[in-house]
Structure 1
Amino acid sequence: LLDAAALLAERLPASQGRLVWAVAGAGPLEAVLTGRIASENLPVRLLGRREDVAVLMRAADVVVQTSQWEGQPLTIQEALRAGAAVVATDVGGTAVTAGGGAVLVEPSAEALAQAVHHLLTDTAALARARDASREAAASLPGEQALTAQLERVLRGAGV
């Protein structure tokens, strides 16, 4: 993400305003990331642990997931439900989970930067990405479907 942020900082015209990447969450690399962000003057803000992620996703121009591996990514599901334009690395179960609602790219800074740049500079593409996200969200299982699935699994396990 930091590499993609650096690439986009160079590519987006100043007339579009300053692009700021907001990263929600916390982890063991926080100090290293904070140091790199400061030393390279990257347009990235580490927000730490948040309880309002859905609000952040709805407010974002683009939600970006840069995973090197994913099973069934909850972040993608949350972003789809928020109706956000989504750019994600095409790893693990991301494509299946996204169900056509995300722009999927290879896991590289260049590919991420190109996809985000395209969405931020083409309003029609951004609108299509948001529409695709909302459409894919409609096919995600709801609370009742998940409860029924869990009950079937537990009955099958003799619980």
Structure 2
Amino acid sequence: LDFENARERQFNLTVSVEDLDFSSVAVCLIEVEDSNDHSPAFLSQFVQTNPVFEDVPVGTTVTTVRATDKDSDLNGKIIYSIKSESDPMRQFVVDQFGHVVVASALDREAIQKYALIVQASDQGTPARTGSVTVLINLLDINDNGPRFEAPYMPVVW
């Protein structure tokens, strides 16, 4: 049985019994319930965003990801999150719609590129998950002045 196949969600059975003297008929309706047998799935395993300038304002959406789950009700309701080990400084967040958003100021001199692992988890018991890696390259801006490599020490002869 497969709940996701609409023709397999309900069955009507007619059961009849008879002997020499009596007969009886019972009509049974069998309804198939969904089980959490599908994980959320993304269209691809990797998403490459357009390059992002390091001074992009906090709150800017850099990309949107979307997962689908063939299950119904809570078994198919998706919650997005970013795996903390892929963004230890928590510079990005993902909202309920899959928008990947800048959460704090970026600095290309500190981190040049990100490989965020966005997870989609359903609300079944137990929950099932799928993931996509979002690749973000930062573009430099002229935010640092020149510096001498060593302190200035004039020599007079």
TM-score, normalised to structure 1's length? 0.25
Instruction: Identify, as 1 or 2, the structure richer in strand.
Output: 2
Which has the larger Rg? 2
> Which protein is richer in helix relative to its size?
1
Higher RCO structure, 1 or 2 (CA under 8 Å, sep 6+)? 2
Task: Using structure 2 for the length normalisation, give the TM-score.
Answer: 0.25
